Structure 1
């Protein structure tokens, strides 16, 4: 067959075939008039080179596989030399992934730092009183039914103010811990499809509602109020400062509490696991009440105040 036919059948360009010939992967015969002629074996070779390139093995590394075929093997990776190329390519990909992950982390940190410098502290909740229309309402799937009566796990977690909190040592008074997925920052995009996830949108509105009803919560019997997510303490510290929150945020980056208490979580773009919005009322180290599902989040603190007022603490 001529080079054009080979290119069509193999799904590559004529230029690519000439390159394979140049680096010695294929050697065509010549017709009487000097034209290149290719056979079915060379078609198989070109198809194999193309398949290897699709998984990251370049033509320069394909020689071991072609030699394996030329030696009579049915598959090009039945030879030790082919397996060595697999290992080398995987090692190189691991190195690239490591370097790219480190580079992405640095870019993300600089983005967060830049956003924190660019946007001033917000003394009011003007931008956070409302939610977009048409948000999906989360349904009650029973994922929190088992929580009342459970004791908090013996874990120590960092907080946004640089301290730590031992959940099993919160004391005899009532503590309110509202769990949320993640708080966005001005100028930093939320994950794609965020608004389509029931209950995901509204973390800033919820934080501001707890801020503006913090005194009501205390007067209704809450000795302590915390927000909690899997975001880092530094990230949460920026939110506390920007939104003027009168309470600390707890950081549970490994979702240890979710695992210990079998709390509901969900995934979003760029986030393998996030806390599903849920609020716990805790007394004497045990969960007294769980609010779940929560909607709308921008009035949830008022819901908690109402429950505390309707269920005064036994002294």
Structure 2
């Protein structure tokens, strides 16, 4: 059998077979005229080298396996030396994985430090801040959401007897969230400085603006309470840990409610949309009184002025 035939049958190149020969891993028989004569055993060796190489074992490291076949064993890993070679390869991979994991952790730490350092949220009484404001301001030209009627059924609807966790470690009953009126602003997804927004986020009507909206409710929180709101809550489908980071970073004086299971979609038929494989709530705000939805804001635009709209409604409807 010629070298080209060995390469074809083993799925290798002629150059690779010659390289294996140079290392003494494949040793074809020599004819009287000096030409190499390959056999089925050589095809088996070349295949074994390639398969082991795909597992991450270097070509030189395949020698114990080939010697095991040469000793007449049916499988290349029937010998103790082959098992030892497996262990060495595993140990080398483990060391590389740990090294890569450590490098990844350091990079993540640098990313987080830089992202948060350059994205500090200003409070209303701060005149100058070193932050970049683009993360907290709405860009021009955002598409305006249209009223599709998806919230028309909500006014007058009793709140379901659901209990949701909040970022303060409590369990909040939606049908009895507290005395007086409760403002629950429901939003899709608050961005974080160290993470990218879903692709095409700004092109989805009503998606962009969760951070400015939350900052608006923060800045007008005392006024909302003075106008008759007993409590203010944000609500989204992110888990509590994700929301807690938002509360701490934005320095919100109120809690966020987590509906990670999207239970309100079933209970109240709240509108949603899809983005990056996620089902997210469309932006809307509920005014709840005595366990019943008294008023609904939907659609909401622009979100950075929404807290002022809620405040104006509370003052107009004492």
* TM-score bracket for this pair, using the shorter chain length: 0.5 to 0.7
Indicate the RMSD between aligned Cα atoms, in angstroms: 2.7
Q: How far 1:21 sits from its partner (Å)?
A: 4.9
Q: How far 1:219 sits from its partner (Å)?
A: 1.0
Q: Which of 1 and 2 has greater Rg?
A: 2
Kept after mapping to 1: 8 A contact 2:182/2:288? yes
Matched, 1:285 2:282: no
Q: How does 1:48-67 map to 2 (within 5 A)?
A: none
1:255 to 234, 248, 262: 262
2:229 to 222, 226, 230: 222
- State the match for 1:5 in structure 2: none
Q: How far 1:122 sits from its partner (Å)?
A: 2.9
The alignment of Structure 1 onto Structure 2 pairs a total of residues equal to 212
5+ residue gaps, structure 1, are: 1-14, 24-106
- State the match for 2:317 in structure 1: 311
Distance 2:113 2:233 in 1: 22
Matched, 1:267 2:274: yes
Distance 2:109 2:288 in 1: 33
Q: How does 1:168-207 map to 2 (within 5 A)?
A: 168-207=175-214
Distance 1:226 1:112 in 2: 31
Deviations 1:226-247 (A, max 9, x none): 0000011111111111111000
Distance 1:155 1:163 in 2: 13
Q: Which has the higher contact order (CA 8 A, sep 6+)?
A: 1
Distance 1:18 1:135 in 2: 63
- State the match for 1:132 in structure 2: 139
Q: How does 1:76-87 map to 2 (within 5 A)?
A: none
2:307 to 292, 295, 301: 301
Q: How far 1:297 sits from its partner (Å)?
A: 0.1
Cα distance change of structure 1 residues 164 and 124 upon mapping to structure 2, 3 Å threshold: same
Q: How far 1:18 sits from its partner (Å)?
A: 8.8
Q: How far 1:170 sits from its partner (Å)?
A: 1.6
Deviations 1:216-261 (A, max 9, x none): 1111110000000001111111111111100000000011112200
Q: TM-score, normalised by structure 1?
A: 0.62
- State the match for 1:122 in structure 2: 121
Q: How does 1:85-100 map to 2 (within 5 A)?
A: none
Instruction: Give SS of 1:145's match.
Output: coil
Distance 1:249 1:130 in 2: 21
1:149 to 148, 153, 156: 156
Matched, 1:234 2:231: no
Kept after mapping to 2: 8 A contact 1:171/1:285? no
